[in-house]
């Protein structure tokens, strides 16, 4: 389940051009299953109307501490108490200065101060001109807000409404959503370092042709994202796929199995968990032609011979740190039939504590999947669900296993 599902988010807007992005952010929150209560400062209302935000959130917007709609006349208390998180996006330089000082002379800063801080996180997405962002006063306020327990998100770099280019843009709505998810997710993998392989490999025949397979990389990317949400430091070694890098994940792009092995070797010593979801080609052409192989009109076909690729998972699983249990290895098996038998056999052959089986034709390119977890004790089924949801379930399962190992 998406951690935002049925969460109640107070979305606070302070004054800034980035208010236009708050409309999209509100829509994404609602789409993720959250209820959204918008609160706007007077300055924010110069940039976007409460009518737009009401239409998108489905709730009347609050703007004043003197609002008489609340029966107890304490909008600032009710709003904070009801929330699962208070998200300020955009947070202007002035608004952050006010928060850092603990000011409370208008509704939004008042409710931030009055919220039950131990239970309701305050998440801040700054947005301002690059000089304002770089100014020591702003950086001092950011440091103070963090010291006071707020989660101040980063800023984007790029073109600004003022015509300048630099740091200070508000993060894009999907980035803010990803960071909010990470704030709200129980940190089951906090301080764990997770290395994931994903996608197909590309084995060159000549400079323009190659052998690959239908792996989309979606399952591995979802696992990387879920692990990051759960607090892990994640490195994703990805074969050639057209997927966006999950927020907060370090991605290393590779083409061939040999490249993938080299990238994994470079990263694995720093990992606590290795999850091999990549569909690595079993063979590669024995020779890569330096020039494009040409049709000569004779009807003859080129004779390709193959060399076996290294088995990345088996190589990692044989490392001393894996054998001692310091590095926990998870393999995947994409089968077409007899999933349980093949998954059990593969777990033993690869020598890994956990093997996750799935039916290849039922998962390639799809957004949903069904998993069968096979370990020395037995099996656990994760029934068909979106890959993002299965990834979260797998991360929770892993956290239990790691907890048992520690």
- Minimal distance, residue 106 CB to ligand C5P, in Å: 55
Query: What CA–CA distance (Å, rounded) separates 64 from 107?
Result: 5
- Minimal distance, residue 230 CB to ligand C5P, in Å: 21
- 3-class secondary-structure state, position 178: helix
Name the residues that contact ligand C5P, by CB under 6 A. Answer: 197, 257, 276-278, 280, 309-313, 331-333, 346
- Minimal distance, residue 226 CB to ligand C5P, in Å: 17
- Minimal distance, residue 371 CB to ligand C5P, in Å: 13
- Minimal distance, residue 313 CB to ligand C5P, in Å: 3
- 3-class secondary-structure state, position 195: strand
Query: For residues 90 and 331, which CB has a smaller minimum distance to ligand C5P in the complex?
Result: 331
- 3-class secondary-structure state, position 331: strand
- Minimal distance, residue 60 CB to ligand C5P, in Å: 52
Contacts of 153-159 with CB under 8 Å at 24 or more apart are 153/123, 153/124, 153/125, 153/126, 153/179, 155/126, 155/127
Tell me which H or E stretch contains 354: strand 354-359
What are the phi and psi torsion angles at 331 (to 5°)?
Answer: -105, 160
Query: For residues 328 and 332, which CB has a smaller minimum distance to ligand C5P in the complex?
Result: 332
Angle CA 151–157–160, to nearest 5: 110
Q: In Å, how far are 74, 196, 223, 233, 282 from 277, measured between CA atoms? A: 52, 7, 9, 18, 14
Catalytic, out of 26, 112, 157, 162: 162
Q: In Å, how far are 45, 151, 234, 311 from 16, measured between CA atoms? A: 10, 20, 33, 53
Query: For residues 308 and 367, which CB has a smaller minimum distance to ligand C5P in the complex?
Result: 308
Q: In Å, how far are 47, 158, 402 from 165, measured between CA atoms? A: 21, 5, 45
Residue with tokens 């239970």: 119
Query: For residues 13 and 371, which CB has a smaller minimum distance to ligand C5P in the complex?
Result: 371
What are the phi and psi torsion angles at 248 (to 5°)?
Answer: 80, 5
Query: For residues 62 and 274, which CB has a smaller minimum distance to ligand C5P in the complex?
Result: 274
Residue 329 annotated in active site:
no
Query: For residues 21 and 284, which CB has a smaller minimum distance to ligand C5P in the complex?
Result: 284
- Active-site positions read 162
């Amino acid at each position: 389940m998406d951690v935002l599902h049925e969460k109640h988010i107070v979305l606070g807007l302070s004054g800034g051009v980035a208010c236009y992005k708050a409309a999209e952010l509100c829509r994404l929150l609602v789409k993720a299953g959250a209820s959204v209560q918008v609160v706007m400062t007077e300055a924010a209302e110069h940039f976007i109307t409460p009518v737009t935000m009401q239409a998108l959130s489905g709730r009347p917007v609050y703007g004043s501490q003197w609002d008489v709609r609340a029966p107890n006349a304490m909008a600032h208390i009710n709003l904070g108490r009801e929330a699962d998180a208070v998200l300020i996006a955009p947070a202007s330089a002035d608004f952050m200065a006010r928060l850092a000082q603990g000011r409370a002379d208008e509704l939004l800063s008042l409710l931030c101060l009055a919220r039950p801080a131990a239970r309701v996180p305050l998440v801040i997405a700054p947005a301002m001109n690059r000089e304002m962002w770089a100014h020591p006063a702003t950086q001092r306020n950011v440091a103070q807000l963090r010291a006071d327990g707020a989660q101040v998100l980063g800023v984007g770099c790029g073109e600004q409404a003022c015509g300048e280019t630099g740091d200070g843009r508000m993060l894009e709505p999907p980035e803010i959503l990803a960071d909010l998810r990470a704030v709200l997710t129980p940190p089951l993998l906090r301080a764990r370092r997770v290395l994931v392989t994903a996608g197909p490999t590309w084995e060159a025949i000549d400079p323009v042709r190659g052998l690959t397979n239908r792996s989309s990389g979606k399952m591995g990317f979802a696992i990387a994202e879920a692990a990051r949400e759960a607090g892990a430091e994640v490195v994703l070694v990805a074969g050639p796929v057209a997927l966006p890098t999950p927020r907060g994940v370090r991605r290393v792009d590779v083409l061939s199995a040999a490249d993938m092995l080299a990238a994994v070797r470079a990263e694995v010593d720093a990992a606590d968990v290795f999850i091999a979801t990549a569909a690595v080609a079993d063979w590669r052409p024995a020779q890569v032609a330096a020039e494009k192989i040409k049709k000569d009109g004779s009807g003859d076909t080129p004779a390709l011979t193959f060399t076996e690729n290294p088995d990345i998972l088996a190589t990692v699983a044989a490392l001393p740190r894996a054998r001692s249990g310091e590095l926990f290895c998870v393999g995947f098996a994409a089968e077409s039939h007899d999933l349980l038998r093949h998954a059990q056999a593969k777990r033993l052959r690869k020598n890994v504590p956990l093997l996750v089986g799935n039916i290849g034709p039922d998962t390639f390119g799809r957004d949903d999947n069904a998993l069968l977890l096979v370990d020395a004790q037995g099996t656990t089924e994760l029934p068909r669900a979106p890959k993002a949801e299965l990834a979260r379930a797998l991360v929770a399962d892993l956290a239990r296993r790691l907890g048992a190992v520690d």
